[in-house]
Structure 1
Amino acid sequence: MSQYDIVVMGAGHNGLVAAAYMAKAGKKVLVLERKPHFGGGVSTRELIQPGYWHDEHSNVHIMIQGNPMLREDELGLLSKFGLEYIYPELPHASIWEDGTIVRSWKDLDRTCEEIASFSPRDAEAYRKFARASMAAIPMFMSGLYAPPFPMGAFVAMMDQSDEGRFLLDVMLRSALDVVNQYFESDLLRLHIVRMVTENLQMPDELGTGMGAFLMPGIIHTYGCSMPKGGSGQLSKALVRAIEHFGGEVRCNAEVRRVLVSSGKAVGLELADGESFMARDGVIGAIHPHVLRKFVAETPEPVLERAERVTQSTFSINLTHLTLKERLRLKVGNEANAMMTELMDFYTMRDMLLEYDKLRRGEVSERLIAGGDNTIFDPSRAPEGAGVFYGVNFAPYDLWPGGPASWDERKEEIADRALAQYRKFYANLTDDNITGRLIRSPIDHERDSPASFLKGDIHGCAPFFYQSVAHRPTPDLGSLRVPGVEGLYLVGPFMHPGGGVFGAGRATAIQMMDDMGIDYDKVCGRAVA
């Protein structure tokens, strides 16, 4: 039986972030990971052929760019542990089958000039909209990487000013509501809404409108990025930091349960019976739907509410390809963006009809995005070759047949998506494809059974009632588990949401506060 200060269940990037901060604070930390490799949803591996590096889940890092972990390099990831980001001038582009392109450059003026080519009115409306978004970024982003406000206090605070009431109004609306209020051109509306649905939210779901408002501000403030060498380089840098601060990360170590004694979390027990004890606390990447499995001592009302957490309306069927030669867009590779949406619908109505299919358990091959990661990072494949990452929105509960039918249908569904991609890429031909791997919603769930429940790679739905300190529930939103002292939570289902936020920072702040550790002193120290 080994003794540590803190033991962590799960080496996804959120768990690694929390572990790194606690190790920097001087705690003896151990991270235990079920899989043979660390990183969880932030992992880059040779999935098909040697020399071709594929992002298993996350591909583009957007929201983490506002995190002080990077902005102030609190863990030394950038200065000491080898993390390097690629920032293109073109973060986001929408490309239509007829060659129409709408671009969001990092430069706002350049973006507005292009919008003016099809809607002078929308160019001015977008400039005003984006400036309002950029002005809100400092206030809004400051709350994303720290323990969340209680929901009641948050709403009361927002209700104290015109600016706050405006933001609260946006948060309660849908992305569709937001763009319809501000813009007249369906091209611009499609460009914005299609991008924010990458958060696994429907265009018309209430309580999700903040994405449509914030994303332009983020793009024109921080841009969009990916780590050089792949998304998993973030996880590798975090592991280096943990080890530098004296911590350990162990793979092939599946946790069976959290050990609880006298109402306190005291360690983790592995599937093989080995135990690791924790003097100060346990951190768990434990989805609310499986909290009962890992922590049966949790009070029953807390478990019942956890099991009612709502998952996102849809997931993704993910296509990985290895390519002999780098992909070429039919419109020219100068249109490649860090986020590239590919569309053959030209009205909001037509797009909404495709999203409606997801609600009925159907897949629309028209809801695709993706491209060749070597366009921005040639190190991801042998010289001149390519690595394709393609997202097709898809329901977990596939009709007919249900989730289990994904195993027999995912290749056929991916074939339809491939035919759609070929409308946009000149050389996405059979003779250029040297390898293929399809990962369906049920594959995502199998890959991370304690986090990606029902294939939801963002943890749970991004609805307003599952936000701030109500994410995922009012009980668990404080990053702690009521009735089990010393148990803290991390994961995409926690505040602030799915995607790459580096959100384990908030859990570390909460732990340090509970332990009487001065977080500012810990983070203010340079990494030696």
Structure 2
Amino acid sequence: MPSMLDAVVVGAGPNGLTAAVELARRGFAVEVFEAGPAVGGGARTEELTLPGFRHDPCSAVHPLAIGSPAFEEMPLARHGLEWLQPRLALAHPFPDGSAAVLAGSVGETAMSLGPEDAGAYRRLLAPYLGHWDTLARDFLRTPWDGLPRDPYRWARFGLDAIQPATLLSRRFRGEKARGMLAGLAAHAIAPTSGLATGGIALLFALAAHEKGWPVPRGGSQAISDALASYLRELGGTIRTGTEVRRLDELPPARAYVFDTSPAALARIAGLGRAYRDYRYGASCFKIDYALSGPVPWTAEEARRAGTVHIGPTAGEIDAALHAAVEGRDPSVPFLITAQPSLVDPTRAPEGKHVFWVYGHVPAGWEGDATEVIERQLERFAPGFRDVVLARAVAGPPGIAERNANYVDGDIACGAFAGLQTVIRPKLARVPYATAHPAVFLCSSATPPGPGVHGMSGHHAAKAVWRRLRESGPSSGRRR
């Protein structure tokens, strides 16, 4: 039996597992090494507060996963992945008790923005509705995949997507539309005046209408578990609880694929200062709550939404993002919250709920934002503290400890700013390749960037199998 593997993958997050699956599907012998006790990376579920309350330490809601071209080609449902859709994808409440919403229906969404902006919203989305699959494949493709399937629509979407959210918002008159757009753009963890933040907002809005913003039954761990199960079915193996410090600690292989930060890759593979110019961004302060009942939102729409954004205005949201990026303490944070137990009763004991919240803070910040976060929640859900049974808090150091890819608590694994918005981790014909011919990077530090969609792993696997194909036949080894 050959003694050399075709590929070793370091890191069992969604991208690492996707890369391993893509290689195993093509007959390559693959083994995955994970430092943690279980697979998952940014898609895990754990009891962080009280027994029976199952929380997602990292990602929770997955519009990009359900719409991922990579995941759609895999039989993940057969391996236990089930999507649950809330009645509303998103609510964006305002102090007067009203709310803008993202619903499956474009009409319902448009009406929630008010008569002054309903038509503008419909016009913004109209060219792209019904074309998610083509747009997703065109925009998540690599340069070697050839021409876009729909060049006209690809170009039109690109002209909208490259705009800052502040420019895109000029199409609207009222604060509801502008506030909701800013909240969507804020998922980039960058000021809304930044390049392509409008594209982030447009992407999430289109996803809500085309695919929804679902949660996996049982928590985000279900995504990772399904990928791992499929990999094992294909003959791949996974070793957990195995931290890799040097390349020579790994078994002999024709290729090594890293689902890590660029800094960790350079350290482990001995690449020196190869990624010295790569920048990490602002961080988050995360709280997971065990609640005695649902969040007492003033806005009725928020009680039906899987995700609730707390801003509320575009100005407040942008100010909060600027504070985080510029290194200032949060005072009035913008909050992204999720309520998975509204649609998944397996996440908490009967009648009780889990609640997922984060706000933006400077990278490496060591303060405690619990008070300012809960003060902001009380503005829109008076009596919130009365339903809190327990909380698990993680600032930037804790977030980095949970996931080593989140350097200084940067959950995007790299700043969404300047040229790094579109060029990650560095300018290169094949951004997944490195100076070492057998070493590749597949984390969200590579295109198309952050989010649980597996596309970075998918594209890195393409680069790997092209290299392996050039170097000769598969070892055929299976463990």
Q: 1:334 deviation in Å?
A: 6.3
Instruction: Note closer, same or farther for the CA distance 1:107–1:395 as it changes in structure 2 (3 Å cut).
Output: same
Decide which moves more: 237-246 or 472-481: 472-481
Matched, 1:149 2:124: no
1:38 corresponds to: 39
Question: Percent identity, aligned pairs only?
Answer: 24
Inter-CA distance 70–286: structure 2 relative to 1 (3 Å threshold)? closer
State yes or no: 1:377 paired with 2:335. Answer: no
Partner of 1:126: 121
Structure 1 CA distance for aligned equivalents of residues 305 and 352 of structure 2: 18
Unaligned runs of 5+ in 2: 471-479
Q: Is 2:412 the partner of 1:458?
A: yes
**C-alpha RMSD of matched pairs (Å):** 2.7
CA–CA distance in structure 2, aligned partners of residues 164 and 20 of structure 1: 28
CA contact (8 A) 2:255 2:438 kept: yes
Local SS of the residue matching 1:276: coil
* Corresponding letter in the other structure for 1:287: S
What is the distance in 1 between the residues matched to 2:19 and 2:439?
13
How far, CA to CA, are the matches of 1:29 and 1:143 in structure 2? 28
The answer as to whether partners of 1:31 and 1:250 remain within 8 angstroms in 2 is: yes
495, 508, 527: which is aligned to 2:461? 508
Residue 292 (str. 1) matches residue 241 (str. 2): no
- TM, length-normalised to structure 1: 0.82
1:326 alignment partner, SS class: coil
Gaps of 5+ in 1: 260-268, 270-274, 399-405, 518-528
The answer as to 2:380 corresponding to 1:424 is yes
C-alpha distance in 1 between matches for 2:3 and 2:267 = 23
Contact 1:17 1:502 (8 Å CA) reproduced? yes
Aligned partner of 2:446 in structure 1 is 494
The 8 Å contact of residues 134 and 218 in structure 1, kept in 2 or not, is answered as no
Matches within 5 A, 1:205-216: 205-216=194-205
**In the alignment, which of 292, 307, 310 is matched to residue 339 of structure 1?**
307
3-state SS of paired residue (1:43): coil
* Cα distance change of structure 1 residues 444 and 460 upon mapping to structure 2, 3 Å threshold: same
8 Å CA contact 1:396–1:442 kept in 2: the answer is no
CA distance, structure 2, for counterparts of residue 364 and residue 238 of structure 1: 40
How far has the Cα of 1:138 moved from its partner?
4.1
- Give the drift of 1:164: 5.7
Query: Residue 342 and residue 388 in structure 1: after superposition, are their counterparts in 2 closer, same or farther (change >3 A)?
Result: same
Q: 1:324 aligns with which of 292, 295, 299?
A: 292
Question: In 1, Cα distance between the equivalents of 2:337 and 2:236?
Answer: 37
**Aligned counterpart in structure 2 of residue 97 of structure 1, from 92, 95, 98:** 95
Q: Which runs of 4+ in 1 moved over 6 A?
A: none
1:357-415 Cα distance to aligned partner (Å, 9 max, x none): 222422134311314321121110111111111111111154xxxxxxx1xx32xx212
Aligned to 2:399: 444
> What amino acid is aligned across from residue 31 of structure 2 in structure 1?
L
Answer yes or no: is 1:257 the counterpart of 2:246.
Answer: yes
Check the 8 A contact 1:172/1:464 in 2, yes or no: no
Residues 1:213 and 1:227: Cα distance change in structure 2 (over 3 Å)? same
Cα deviation per residue 1:112-169 (whole Å; 9 max; x = unaligned)? 2333xx3x241111101011243664443114554x228xx99xx89x9876665444
Q: 1:201 to 1:134 in 2, by over 3 A?
A: farther
Query: Which of these residues, 183, 202, 205, is aligned with residue 194 of structure 1?
Result: 183
Kindly provide the CA deviation profile for residues 38-85 of structure 1, in whole angstroms up to 9, marking residues without a partner as x.
2011100111222110001001111122223333xx32111x201001
Of the three residues 193, 202, 219, the one matched with 2:208 is: 219
Give the Cα–Cα distance (whole angstroms) in 2 for the partners of residues 286 and 457 of structure 1. 12
Contact 1:327 1:426 in 2 (8 A): no
Within 2, Cα distance between the matches of 1:114 and 1:76? Answer: 37
- State the TM-score, normalizing by the size of structure 2: 0.89
Q: Higher mean Cα deviation, 165-174 or 224-233?
A: 165-174
CA distances 1:240-273 after superposition (whole Å, capped 9, x unpaired): 11111122111110001224xxxxxxxxx1xxxx
SS at match of 1:255: coil
CA contact under 8 A between 2:305 and 2:339: conserved in structure 1? no
Number of residues of Structure 1 aligned to a counterpart in Structure 2: 466
Cα distance change of structure 1 residues 35 and 112 upon mapping to structure 2, 3 Å threshold: same
Question: How far did 1:225 drift?
Answer: 1.0
Deviation at 1:20, TM superposition (A): 1.6
Distance 1:144 1:47 in 2: 36
Moved more, 492-501 or 358-367: 358-367
CA apart distance, 1:323:
1.9
- Indicate which of 444, 469, 472 corresponds to 2:425: 472
Task: Assess if the C-alpha contact under 8 Å between 1:364 and 1:394 holds in 2.
Answer: no
Matched, 1:277 2:252: yes
Offset at residue 98 of structure 1 (A): 1.9
Is the 8 Å Cα contact of residues 280 and 413 (structure 2) preserved in structure 1?
A: yes
Q: After TM superposition, list the pairs within 5 Å mapping 1:4-23 onto structure 2.
A: 4-23=5-24
Per the alignment, residue 26 of structure 1 pairs with 27
